[in-house]
Every structure is written in C-alpha cells, then in structure tokens.
Amino acid sequence: MLNIVLFGPPGSGKGTQSEKIIEKYKLCHLSTGDILRGEIANKTELGIQANIIMSRGELVSDEIVIGMIKNKLEANKDAKGYIFDGFPRTVAQAEALDVVLNALNQEISCFISLEVEKDELIKRLVKRGEECGRTDDNLEVIENRIAVYHKQTAVVAKYYEKQGKSHPVEGMGSIEEIFERITAVIDK
Ligand code: ADP
C-alpha cells in the first residue's frame, strides 16, 4: 500500500496537490481540515467547538483529530492507500498515526514536505480568503496559523527524518511543475 503524508505550512498547496495525487494513484484522501469543516457545516457539537479554535488559527486537540482519523481509516478499509493532508500536525499525532497503522499492518511510505516562502504563503491565503471566504483566511489569523505551524507543527518533519522517510519538495512554481516534483518522489 502507498500511504503518503503531504506536509507543509498553511497555503503550501497541500489541498491542491492532494487532489491531483488521489486522481493519479487512486488513494483515499484524509484531510482533517476538510473533515472539521464538514462538522462545522453540519453544525455538530464537535463542529461548534472546533470552529472557535479554527477561527483563531489554533490547533484542535490531538485527541479529537486522532479520533477522526481512526474513524476514517475504519470506514475506508478497502482503500489502495491513503494520503494524509493536514495531519499529523504535532508529534503526538504522528506517533498515534504510527500506532494505528501498525495495528493494520501498514506504515507511512513517504513524507512529502512542500517548501514555500512566507510571503508567498500569505499572498495565496489572502487571495483564497477573497475568493472563497474561509473564515480563517484573513491576515491576522493567517499570521497566527503560520506562527502555530513553526511552533507546533514544523517539528513533525524531524520525526519522519529520523525514520528516513522525509522528502522536501520545492513548493514554488506552477501547480503542474510542483506535481511533477511530487510524482518523481512517489515513483522512486
Ligand atoms: P491550512 O493547512 O491551510 O491551515 P487546514 O484545512 O489543514 O488548512 O486546517 C485548517 C484548521 O483546522 C487549522 O488551522 C486547525 O485549526 C484545524 N486542523 C486541521 N487539521 C488539524 C490537525 N491535524 N490538528 C489540529 N488541528 C487541525
């Protein structure tokens, strides 16, 4: 099975590239951000709580997102592989993911880290906020999401480096160019 973690700061293009990867490799897409936004849209108790945290740009608790991922894996047992997008975002989440996958006799095949400069991240996210109105895509919250990424999430790359699975990919350029770089890593 091909199990990929697509990693990178907010605005690095994880969602866009995930769509292209699942189409090419027929993987099951597991995006904690998308699942949380689904809960918000359905006005569930979890969604109401998560919305408060997300609109500040902070991280939802590890316990909640790990539970969500477990449910999704359980519900998609027949998948050819998974792409994890926006998860894991803390070392505790990365450890929990290894435990869950081990129990299924599986493991992460590769960790792809999209590298994009801060100015470009802000430009992309502000533009997305204007176009599709995500409440966390406004300048103040964007700055906080990037700060939270450096404080709590960037260290996850070290976890996969130690396992020899980390592959940094240049995330500047056209969508197609970046996708080619990603497929070169996956196909190796
Ligand atoms: P982006 O990568 O652009 O920030 P996401 O859709 O991945 O967008 O995440 C949006 C928000 O959802 C995050 O700022 C955070 O509040 C919450 N979130 C998503 N995934 C996680 C996670 N794995 N752990 C904690 N919070 C998460």
pLDDT of residue 76: 94
Q: Nearest-5° angle of CA 84, CA 87, CA 90?
A: 150
Three-class DSSP labels, 76-143 = CCCCCEEEEECCCCCHHHHHHHHHHHHHCCCCCCEEEEEECCHHHHHHHHHHHHHHHCCCCCCHHHHH
pLDDT of residue 64: 96
CB of 21 closer than 8 Å to CB of 186: yes
pLDDT of residue 134: 85
Overall average pLDDT of the 45-67 stretch: 96
Domains, the chain, with CATH or none: 2-187 (3.40.50.300)
Which tens digits make up the pLDDT trace of 113-162?
A: 999 999 999 999 999 999 987 889 999 999 999 999 999 999 999 999 99
Query: Is 43 a residue of the active site?
Result: no
Nearest atom within ligand 1 for CA of residue 34: 6
Catalytic, out of 14, 37, 72, 181: 14
Q: Is the CB of 86 inside a 6 Å radius of any atom of ligand 1?
A: yes
pLDDT of residue 21: 97
Average pLDDT of the chain to the nearest whole number:
96
CB of 168 closer than 8 Å to CB of 115: yes
Is-above-0.75 flag for pTM?
yes
Query: Is 165 a residue of the active site?
Result: no
- 31 pLDDT above the threshold of 90: yes
Q: Which among 59, 100, 113 is the best mutation to test ligand 1's pocket, defined by most ligand atoms within 8 Å of the CB?
A: 59
- 102 pLDDT above the threshold of 90: yes
Catalytic, out of 128, 162, 165, 181: 128
CB of 18 closer than 8 Å to CB of 179: no
Overall average pLDDT of the 40-58 stretch: 95
Which tens digits make up the pLDDT trace of 62-84?
A: 999 999 999 999 999 999 999 99
100: confidence class by pLDDT, cuts 50, 70, 90: very high
**CB count, 10 Å around CB of 79?**
18
Overall average pLDDT of the 11-34 stretch: 97
Query: Dihedral (C-alpha) 48, 49, 51, 57: value to the nearest 10 degrees?
Result: 180
The torsion angles phi and psi of 112, rounded to 5 degrees, stand at -110, 120
